[in-house]
Chains A and B, each alone.
Chain A
Amino acid sequence: MKNLLEIQDAHVYIGSFYILQGISLVVPKGEVTLLLGRNGSGKTTTMKTILGIYPPREGKIIWRGGAEDEQDNDSQGEDISKLPTHKIVAKGIGYVPDTRRIFGSLTVEQNLIVSRRKGGLKGDVQDRLDFIFDLFPDMRKFYKQKAKSLSGGQQQMLAVARALMNDNDLLLIDEPTEGLSPLLAKNLISALDKLKEIATILLVEQNFRTVSKLGDNYYIFDNGKIVHQGNNMDELVADKALVAQYLGVSI
């Protein structure tokens, strides 16, 4: 198995709107894959398609596919596009949604309890909590607070922590720095950098410069299609014409 996840020509409709018009992408195991593009280009829908919230009308989503070498017999993978959401997630997918969507009426602790799946965590819960506290030391302070009383940055930490309460192989992280001050955004990005070691990451980000150090591969979305892809972030940053056309704000 080389690719943790592979989307093969997915066509997605929301109601009568044709949103994803044939998306194909691979998420190689152990790497960080970025989805870039303007608002409404289909990045968030791609994540929800993987999660089965908007299942594709056509196309496949292959979990653990792709041959590593010729001896790799178990390379077929499994098509998860027809499964219900909770079964897809149970394969080992953690989701950090774009507007955080924490449960405000629950405390931070209760948010984390709700996020644990049955059998989702092999090791000790306390060890995992300590790992999260190492990642976000501030969380110890607001662990018993109601989530709606938290600041935006604290809520984002909670949203990430929720995805870490299970042994997830793949983390889908949608616009983590949205609405955060530059300093908070920088701290969060460095925390995500540490997560690279334990999980494969699929990251949606508007502001691609803040994550250019993080990414291994990238896909650029425009109007529900992938218009550009590559695996060299430095080249992308240098390619002014491409950035202006699909990512930047035209002046």
Chain B
Amino acid sequence: MEKVINPIRDYLDENPRTRKILSIMSIVAVVVILVVVGIYSYSLKGFVDRTILSIVDGLALSMLLFLMVSGFFLIFGLCDVINFAHGAFFMLGGFMGFTIYLGTESFLLDLGIFGTNYFVLSIVSFIASAIGSMAVLAIVGGGIEFFTVRRLYGNAIAQILLTVGFMVIITKVAEIIWGSSVISYFITPFSQIGESGYFFISGVFNFGGILIFQIYRVFLIFLGLAIAAVMFVAFRKTRIGLQIQAGIEDSEMVEALGTDIKKLFTIVFMLGAGLAGLSGAVLVPWIGANTGHGLTYLIFAFVIVVVGGAHYGRFEGTFFGALIVGLAMKFCAYFAPALENIIVFIIMAIVLILKPGGLTGS
């Protein structure tokens, strides 16, 4: 191919500092324009309030998306399997969380050990639903790996067909049991406590005006951060965490050093599916359980991996990707609701054009 002389590009290649300053300036310019438009449309107070609301909601969504996508990333990074069923795992996790919560609640009510202390009862049910959903999905994911995916390592087309098949199967089974995606299941209408149901964090922080925060969303930020912190520490300090990291770089070498790599693959599938189940379960009190989530969240997972650059094997990429996608969606929800569902694709397109390797990639 003939090389076209491009004086601007040549100049920028020779002066990386100028390029950096220019790119920072252009980002600042875009942000300033958005802020000005925002203030113009909603007045200063409205703008500040909406920004705060967006940040809180966005962070809560980001943390949970991060948990879900880190499972997707681990399976992709170590086993080289693009798990199309991951969104379906997440969706199933939601229903598992919903079912286990109500089951535990009615069991505890029958047992009567907490009496009328509904707060403790609700917390216990919530913890049971999160852990239970994680365990169920870990078994589902591990089972799928052990009985099917294991036979297809190294055969990418067959893996895609297989996991797409599992996505369809799980979604259809869920539709048979819980109905189509027009219905979202929330905990409170089904809860047997009180007249309109009870959930231990159902209140709001009210700062007047539109500044009303769902306490549960604030709680989700901290829950997500706590689980992410546990994961980061576990990856650095435990032998199996280090083995997974090493395996993402070079799984054949890990095997040649004496690790049973097939066992590690099964464990990672269990962990990945378990994380999807956990994030699905703890999101139920906010967005509900819905059979349509499988496809939606699968697409989010793809976008987050591509935007963050995690497809180049960088774990932190999933974190930044989730942060950007979550915040962008919620900013749009408060400022330009029409864009909420397409903003992630706009961002993906921009990132792919400007930095094909994603934000952390080269």
A residues with a Cβ closer than 8 A to B are 51, 53, 84-86, 89-90, 95, 97, 101, 103-106, 110-111, 113-117, 120, 162, 166
Residues in B whose Cβ lies below 8 Å from that of A117 = 257-259
Select the residue from B249, B253, B257, B259 with max chain A CB neighbours within 10 A: B257
B residues with a Cβ closer than 8 A to A are 236, 239, 242-243, 245-246, 249-250, 252-262
Residues in A whose Cβ lies below 8 Å from that of B256 = 51, 53, 85, 89, 95, 97
Question: How many A-B pairs fall under 8 Å by CB?
Answer: 57
Q: Which of A103, A120, A162, A166 contacts B245 (CB 8 A)?
A: A103
A85 lies within 8 A of B255 (CB): yes
CB distance from B249 to the nearest CB of A (A): 5
Residues in B whose Cβ lies below 8 Å from that of A101 = 250, 253
Task: Give the distance in Å from the alpha carbon of A111 to the alpha carbon of B246 in the complex.
Answer: 8
A103 lies within 8 A of B261 (CB): no
Residues in A whose Cβ lies below 8 Å from that of B261 = 85-86
Residues in B whose Cβ lies below 8 Å from that of A53 = 252, 255-256
Residues in A whose Cβ lies below 8 Å from that of B262 = 84
* Given A86-B258, A103-B245, A113-B242, 15 additional A-B pairs, CB 8 A: A84-B262, A85-B256, A97-B256, A103-B246, A103-B253, A105-B245, A106-B245, A106-B246, A110-B245, A111-B246, A114-B243, A114-B254, A116-B239, A117-B257, A117-B258
Q: Which of A84, A95, A105, A110 contacts B257 (CB 8 A)?
A: A95
CB distance from B23 to the nearest CB of A (A): 26
Task: Give the distance in Å from the alpha carbon of A51 to the alpha carbon of B259 in the complex.
Answer: 12
Q: Residue on B with the closest CB to A165?
A: B257
A86 lies within 8 A of B242 (CB): no
Assess A89 versus B257: contact at CB under 8 Å? Given A103-B250, A104-B249. yes
CB distance from A47 to the nearest CB of B (A): 9
Task: Give the distance in Å from the alpha carbon of A111 to the alpha carbon of B245 in the complex.
Answer: 10
Task: Give the distance in Å from the alpha carbon of A116 to the alpha carbon of B242 in the complex.
Answer: 12
CB distance from A74 to the nearest CB of B (A): 24
Task: Give the distance in Å from the alpha carbon of A84 to the alpha carbon of B262 in the complex.
Answer: 10
Listed A/B pairs (8) with beta-carbon separation below 8 Å: A86-B255, A97-B253, A97-B256, A101-B253, A106-B246, A113-B242, A114-B239, A115-B258
B239 lies within 8 A of A86 (CB): no
